[in-house]
């Protein structure tokens, strides 16, 4: 599958919405509401909140540090 130069440009910009500019470690929590996914972004130092796991006590820093 190939994309036009315009499509490639928009694809490259789409990532900035999710990881920032400059890039930042980010956790995305998605929730399906009325057939549409709603996203919530969490950056380093923030507490993760999830409707599916209301008792979850975890920060993004803990999660990122576990991966190193």
Q: How confident is the model at residue 41 (pLDDT cuts 50, 70, 90)?
A: confident
pLDDT exceeds cutoff 50 at 10: no
Domain hosting 53: range is 5-66
Query: Could you tell me if residue 57 is left (phi over 0), alpha (psi between -120 and 50 degrees) or otherwise beta?
Result: beta
- 44, 50, 55 from 32: Cα distances, Å: 24, 12, 19
pLDDT exceeds cutoff 70 at 18: no
pLDDT at 12: 54
- Number of domains making up the chain: 1
């Amino acid at each position: 599958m190939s994309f036009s130069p315009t499509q490639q440009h928009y694809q490259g910009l789409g990532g900035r919405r999710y990881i920032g500019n400059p890039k930042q470690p980010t956790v995305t929590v998605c929730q399906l509401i009325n057939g549409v996914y709603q996203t919530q972004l969490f950056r380093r130092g923030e507490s993760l909140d999830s409707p599916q796991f209301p008792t979850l006590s975890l920060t993004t820093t803990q999660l990122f540090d576990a991966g190193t």
